[in-house]
Structure 1
Amino acid sequence: MQLLPRLCMATGTGDGDGEGSGKGRDSSSGKLATAVSSSSSTVSTSSSAAAAAVSEASSSASLPSLPSLSAAAAATLAASFSHVATLRPVCAGPSAAVVAAGDSLHGLVVARPAAVALHDLSTLEATSTSAAADAAAAAGSVKCAAHLHGGAAAVTGHQDGRLRLWRVSSRSPARLCLAAALPTVADRLRRFPVPSNHVTVRRHHRRLWIEHADTVSGVAASADGRLLFSVSWDKTLKVWAVPSLRCLQSLPAHDDAVNAVAVAPDGTVYTGSADKRVRVWAPRPAPDKARRARGRKHQPAYHLVATLSRHTAAVNALAVGSGGQALYSGGNDRSIVVWEREDSASHMVAIGALRGHRRAVLSIACSAGGLVVSGSADQTVRAWRRAADGRGYACVAVIDGHGAAVRSVAAAPSPSPAPQKWPRGGGGGGGDEEEWRVCSASFDGEVRVWSLRVSSGL
């Protein structure tokens, strides 16, 4: 069957060459900066149903046992996206980037081997940037990044098995300081003398259980910012206390490398692995009032509550949406499985799949307003909008502009003013318009920022 032509293709300056290539170094401070190029290209989709049809036709073979949730997309949605800017690395060589976004107030984290920076989502200017000395100390390629509660701190996971905590300097807000590398020296010295703290990670090689033995592939923070969760290719999930920077728990999470972690607002943790499974972890109940009255501070201990098995290949990405009521998992089977909370079983049940990517799904992000964004090895970013009744999803945009696989995506409501009305007869048919900033990072080091607008017609 001949496939329909792809909709929502970016028609702007996709390579971004030209005006942005000469920018990037701050001569006054000597810090590494980021080259920015802008584009005014805009592409509109007049019918989300047509975009969903393309999604279904281009990947009909993935997860045939699950119904396609994008097949019944609402035709009342209209969308447009524009390329706002491209943030390029200024140093030569491999510099794959990762991004993470909190909300319109907390901004954007852009992490590369040479520098970690916090960007304002409105102006896209770097508000805080790590110094060259701190970047040199952060050995190993950056694999993941996350915002911490409050927006003035971020954490990155690295190929050398360490996590690094970055905070905005109180003396110089333009500087992002390396606050700690986890596990800290103090934590290791405290546990080193006890023989039971040493575990065998492979033949004739032992480590402290608080250390990751392989690449840190995913990191996420709890909603209150008090706990940090990291996963690694060493098959473990670790729980960290942010105030004390101590490792509280290490769990043998999966039978193969763990690729992703996500945290719900209620503290439930989800991990995805190359063993094709998603596992659900929850804290054990708090101790009784008598123990707490004696002054013992309760530290949550996580345990396995469910295993979700619907993927047919490795799971690469996870994201939690709808206030913790929905979970999205993407993998090498090219599909995004949508899970919803099932009260009777106290975990998630698969209700369907979002299809359209031609290669592995590498990253997923959720934002307020029912927006789901996915990045793939097919070099595209897809935006999905959940229907108001929660029964289906519309593929509102297929963004094509990267020259390499999209390894990381982030989305946040646009910092622009309140929702506007599209005029009647325009693309939106006079409905309410919502706008997001969508950020995507690829293996070639480019970080692209897009403005996505979705209008519900009347």
Structure 2
Amino acid sequence: MSPWNQASSPYNKSPWITPSPLNRLLDERNLPERGLVGSLVREEGHIYSLAVCGDLLYTGSDSKNIRVWKNLKEFTGFKSNSGLVKTIVITGDRIFTGHQDGKIRVWKVSQKKPSQHKRVGSLPMFKDFIRSSMNPKNYVEVRRRRNVVRIRHFDAVSCMSLNEELGILYSGSWDKTFKVWRIADSKCLESTLLKQENAVTALAVNQSEAIVYCGSSDGNVNYWEREKHLSHGGVLRGHKLAVLCLVAAGNLVFSGSADKNICVWRREVGQGGSHTCLSVLTGHLGPVKCLTVEEDHSSSEDKTDQKWIVYSGSLDRSVKVWRVSEQAPDLRELRQMILSEKDASSRRAGPE
């Protein structure tokens, strides 16, 4: 039974505060054209994962709990026994959570009571793991004198991403692998051990272009283009520290890093798959640990300019909400944005 449903639960007292009129802003869609539109701040603990589904926002923290917010007001939650919740993805009525202990859990939302969540399985399924472990050919060497079953992560599941059209889930881990799962039957289709010294820390999929983006602890974002098989397409270099999260939307991909910044990249269609860094979103005071995005359906005079609402979670205990355009800002607008950010930082700092 979820602790959120118990009258005596300690979760009844929310550890979150809302310093800005964010609910009113989102309800009225009275948002600025670009930049930060509001934030939630957590008084205790850190935010490690985010996912959006309609008007619901799922957050995972350094506890074993997943909290669910409706219109940015606390709605419900559920608890896992698999350790810290490092990544969350949602498809249909199922939620996938990746954990510090290397496990991927599968949850289902009750149709009768949307506030209730029940665990319905894991990746890989136990029977598949047992069957695979009986065949010596299914073991791979991940460290000297350390062999493991190829279909299961043996270190923290740091990231996941979905290709809903193909019904495929990608997962990446500190064990330097990323795996491809078929959602329909929970089968592991591929397990690729990357030829690199750095842990896989973030994954994102551009569904329309069949591109997989992979962030690593060296601050780079590699990407693979998939036709029949994955082939390396290039590297995006924009961060000084580890890339901790990635999300793709339209022609854009967003990368959050331990350097506290969010890079906004645009894939240039018809230019050999090259990418341009449109902007860098600054404002978090700690590493940016998680990102999620939804299409901005508010009215716009320019129908050719696709806009997105981006949610970012940080180890500074805050969630920030941004509005981002696929069109690059002109130099005058960019200069004004920088001056506004500096002015806001000065006001927050106050007199010495």
Note whether the superposition's TM-score is higher than 0.5: yes
- Look up the match of 2:191: 251
What is the correspondence of 1:343-354 to structure 2 with a 5 Å cutoff?
A: 347-350=231-234, 353=236
- Look up the match of 1:420: 300
- Look up the match of 1:408: 290
8 Å Cα contact 1:97/1:447 also seen in 2: no
CA distance in 2, matches of 1:406, 1:438: 13
CA distance in 2, matches of 1:98, 1:214: 17
8 Å Cα contact 1:232/1:257 also seen in 2: no
What is the correspondence of 1:168-187 to structure 2 with a 5 Å cutoff?
A: 168-187=109-128
Quick one: which amino acid aligns to residue 98 of structure 1?
A: S
- Look up the match of 1:373: 254
Counterpart selection for 1:323 from 201, 208, 212 = 208
8 Å Cα contact 1:236/1:250 also seen in 2: no
Quick one: which amino acid aligns to residue 85 of structure 2?
A: V
Structure number with the higher strand fraction is: 2
Structural RMSD (CA)? 4.3
Please state how far the C-alpha of 1:438 moved relative to its aligned partner.
0.8
Cα 1:28–1:342, aligned 2, differ >3 Å: closer, same or farther? closer
**Aligned positions, number:** 313
Please identify, of 322-331 and 157-166, the stretch whose mean Cα deviation from structure 2 is larger. Answer: 322-331
Cα 1:443–1:451, aligned 2, differ >3 Å: closer, same or farther? same
Deviation string, structure 1 residues 180-205 (Cα, Å, up to 9, x no partner): 2334444455566x464884766787
What is the correspondence of 1:28-177 to structure 2 with a 5 Å cutoff?
A: 28=7, 30=9, 31=11, 33=14, 35-39=16-20, 80-88=34-42, 92-93=44-45, 95-101=46-52, 105=54, 108-114=57-63, 115-120=65-70, 123-130=71-78, 134-135=79-80, 137-139=81-83, 141-148=84-91, 150=92, 152-177=93-118
Cα 1:405–1:224, aligned 2, differ >3 Å: closer, same or farther? same
CA distance in 2, matches of 1:358, 1:381: 12
- Look up the match of 1:217: 158
- Look up the match of 2:280: 398
CA distance in 2, matches of 1:239, 1:432: 34
Identity of aligned pairs, percent?
26
8 Å Cα contact 2:49/2:289 also seen in 1: yes
CA distance in 1, matches of 2:167, 2:226: 24
8 Å Cα contact 1:145/1:157 also seen in 2: yes
CA distance in 2, matches of 1:99, 1:161: 18
Provide TM-score, normalisation by structure 2: 0.68
Q: Matched residue of 2:106: which SS?
A: strand
Structure 1 unaligned runs (5+)? 1-24, 42-77, 261-315, 422-429
Cα 1:189–1:107, aligned 2, differ >3 Å: closer, same or farther? same
- Look up the match of 1:382: 263
Q: Matched residue of 1:173: which SS?
A: coil
CA distance in 2, matches of 1:217, 1:342: 25
Q: Matched residue of 2:102: which SS?
A: coil
What is the correspondence of 1:292-371 to structure 2 with a 5 Å cutoff?
A: 316-321=201-206, 323-324=208-209, 328-331=213-216, 334=219, 336=221, 347-350=231-234, 353=236, 355=238, 357-368=239-250, 370-371=251-252
Please state how far the C-alpha of 1:158 moved relative to its aligned partner.
1.2
Deviation string, structure 1 residues 73-124 (Cα, Å, up to 9, x no partner): xxxxx96212322152x6x45x44112346xx4854322243224445xx23
Deviation string, structure 1 residues 385-421 (Cα, Å, up to 9, x no partner): 456776876655433222211122222212x43x412
8 Å Cα contact 1:79/1:396 also seen in 2: no
8 Å Cα contact 1:98/1:143 also seen in 2: yes
Cα 1:26–1:165, aligned 2, differ >3 Å: closer, same or farther? closer
CA distance in 2, matches of 1:207, 1:339: 25
8 Å Cα contact 2:150/2:191 also seen in 1: no
CA distance in 1, matches of 2:256, 2:264: 9
8 Å Cα contact 2:39/2:318 also seen in 1: no
Please state how far the C-alpha of 1:230 moved relative to its aligned partner.
2.7
CA distance in 1, matches of 2:321, 2:76: 18
Residue 435 (str. 1) matches residue 316 (str. 2): no
CA distance in 2, matches of 1:106, 1:226: 23
Cα 1:231–1:223, aligned 2, differ >3 Å: closer, same or farther? same
CA distance in 2, matches of 1:337, 1:432: 29
Please state how far the C-alpha of 1:160 moved relative to its aligned partner.
0.9
Quick one: which amino acid aligns to residue 295 of structure 2?
A: P
CA distance in 1, matches of 2:122, 2:203: 25
CA distance in 1, matches of 2:270, 2:230: 22
8 Å Cα contact 2:158/2:172 also seen in 1: yes
8 Å Cα contact 2:34/2:322 also seen in 1: no
Please state how far the C-alpha of 1:28 moved relative to its aligned partner.
4.9
- Look up the match of 1:285: none
- Look up the match of 1:10: none
Q: Matched residue of 1:323: which SS?
A: coil
Cα 1:128–1:222, aligned 2, differ >3 Å: closer, same or farther? farther
